[in-house]
Amino acid sequence: MPSILIIDDEQGIRSVLKDVLADEGYDVLLAEDGLRGLSLLETNPVDLVILDVWLPNMGGIDVLKKLKTDFPDIEVIIISGHANIDLAVNAVKIGAFDFLEKPLSLERTITVVRNALALEGLRKENRNLKNTLFIEDRMVGESESMQKIRAIIDQSAASDARILILGENGTGKELVARAIHLKSRRAAGPFVEVNCAAIPDTLIESELFGHEKGAFTSAVAQRKGRFELAHRGSIFLDEVADLSLSAQAKVLRVIQELTFERVGGEEKIEVDVRIIAATNKDIQKEIKAGRFREDLFFRLNVIPVFVPPLRERLSDLPFLISYFMEKYKPPKVSEPRTLSENAMRTLEAYAWPGNIRELKNFMERVNIMTEEPVISEAAVAQYLGAMSTERDTARLKEFEHLNLNQAKEEFEKEFITRKLHEHKSNISKTAQALGLYPSNLHSKLKKYGITVERGK
């Protein structure tokens, strides 16, 4: 049964309401002022608050504002005397569901309570629906690093601390960002994603902060930016290292002042937004090269989360495989497929440069293409091979904007990393395979900042 908190300093009102609502079957909690009411909410799940607008200590309107920011899901009904009806009207403007005038009509009280709870129920349903659409995969994996990530998600949920998620392509950064939002008190609010790499430099400011009509030629109407759309929710600045320096300066200002102006506008817009950022770039390198502001890095990196590449958490592989086998099980097959032992070995030895996204695509493909209930090494090799050719073509595109020297260096770095992995981080074997002296290999590792993990 829904539970209702009544906040009113008049003992008479509290007890009448309590009797009526308890008769209707609701759980009822009572508080004689706002502070006590708010502290009850910290420990008791409540669906609806009935709030006197005229209260000692903290006034009803202030309590309402606090409720709306800290517990946006809870509906609020205001009780007001005839003398302060304007306060009640104001309360509805701020977000109260409705108000009841004293002396209370019990019939009307019950109707308004029912309506408010119906709306609250709808919102909840809507939110649950949204959340299931929201996360396309649950976060699978039991490795130490996954457990650490889960712990950070739980710890950071209650606060508004900014989070910077680092990790290679396809490691699950976006999944982590969404999980943080959904665990936070902002879960009912918006989650607004901005792919900073995909928006051209000339448009990024208007994308982020919006623009006024006429701010530039194509600005035919006023438009809200992503920061404004994310009000009371979270903004996810994906590929944040790709922001231009001028956009970085603007973002830094929003963080410091919590206000901004739309492009071409004067009005200061205040937003309540939690920032979650992510990048697959080596951000230290970007800072050193002068492409990323160090002060912005410190502001964004309040809680760092590193999502390691799949090849460094191979203990997650079996869990991920059975999860995706289940997910992509063809309808006519009765049991999810499994892998032969050798097929499993092949997958373990593979470097997974596209990480979990690559594994996911691979599992989907295998399930569509093969008929084997136990998938063989040969089938695995065939589809992995096909994928790496496609990926290599895509990879070459990434070099397009580099000059030859930069492209060579990128390639060298990746090639060495792969060879190291192949030789289980054994320096002398890797050096031999590369035709280098170990000392030479060492200096290259240092140059590229490649760290060698032992005992893998």
Ligand X SMILES: Nc1ncnc2c1ncn2[C@@H]1O[C@H](COP(=O)(O)OP(=O)(O)OP(=O)(O)O)[C@@H](O)[C@H]1O
Structure letter (DSSP) for residue 264? T
- Is residue 396 within 8 A of residue 414, CB to CB? The reply is no
Question: Minimum CB separation from ligand X for residue 327, in Å?
Answer: 9
Question: Minimum CB separation from ligand X for residue 101, in Å?
Answer: 51
At 71 the three-state DSSP class reads coil
Tell me how far apart the alpha carbons of residues 356 and 417 are, in angstroms, rounded to a whole number: 18
In the shown chain, the binding pattern of residues 210 to 239 toward ligand X, with x for contact by CB under 6 A and - for none, equals: ------------------------------
Q: Which residues contact 152 (CB under 8 A, 6 or more apart)?
A: 303, 305
Question: Minimum CB separation from Mg ion for residue 169, in Å?
Answer: 8
Considering only 17-25, 62-70, 79-87, 168-176, which stretch makes contact with ligand X by CB under 6 A?
168-176
Residue 194 or 416: the one with the smaller Cβ distance to Mg ion is 194
Residue 139 binding ligand X, by CB under 6 A: yes
Structure letter (DSSP) for residue 240? G
Among 360, 384, 417, 420, binds ligand X (CB under 6 A): 360
Question: Minimum CB separation from Mg ion for residue 177, in Å?
Answer: 8
Residue 137 binding ligand X, by CB under 6 A: yes
Burial class (CB in 10 A: 0-12, 13-18, 19+), 27: middle
Contact set for Mg ion, span 158-197 (CB under 5 A):
174
Question: Minimum CB separation from ligand X for residue 79, in Å?
Answer: 47
Residue 37 binding ligand X, by CB under 6 A: no
Considering only 135-143, 185-193, 229-237, 342-350, which stretch makes contact with ligand X by CB under 6 A?
135-143
Tell me which residue of 412, 410, 375, 369 sits closest to 387, measured CA to CA: 369
Tell me which residue of 437, 452, 447, 387 sits closest to 412, measured CA to CA: 447
With CB under 5 to 8 Å by kind, the binding choice for 171 among Mg ion, ligand X, none is: ligand X
Structure token digits, residue 62:
């202030």
Question: Minimum CB separation from ligand X for residue 220, in Å?
Answer: 32
Residue 174 or 286: the one with the smaller Cβ distance to Mg ion is 174
Question: Minimum CB separation from ligand X for residue 280, in Å?
Answer: 4
In the shown chain, the binding pattern of residues 296 to 335 toward ligand X, with x for contact by CB under 6 A and - for none, equals: ------------------------x---------------
Residue 242 binding Mg ion, by CB under 5 A: no
Tell me how far apart the alpha carbons of residues 434 and 436 are, in angstroms, rounded to a whole number: 5
Structure letter (DSSP) for residue 311? G
Structure token digits, residue 200:
């051209």
- Is residue 434 within 8 A of residue 441, CB to CB? The reply is yes
Residue 5 CB: number of other CB atoms within 10 A? 24
At 260 the three-state DSSP class reads strand
Residue 156 or 279: the one with the smaller Cβ distance to Mg ion is 279
Tell me which residue of 265, 253, 264 sits closest to 299, measured CA to CA: 253
Q: Which residues of this protein are in contact with Mg ion, per CB under 5 A?
A: 174
| Interface residue list for ligand X (CB under 6 A) | 136-137, 139-141, 167, 169-175, 280, 320, 356-357, 360
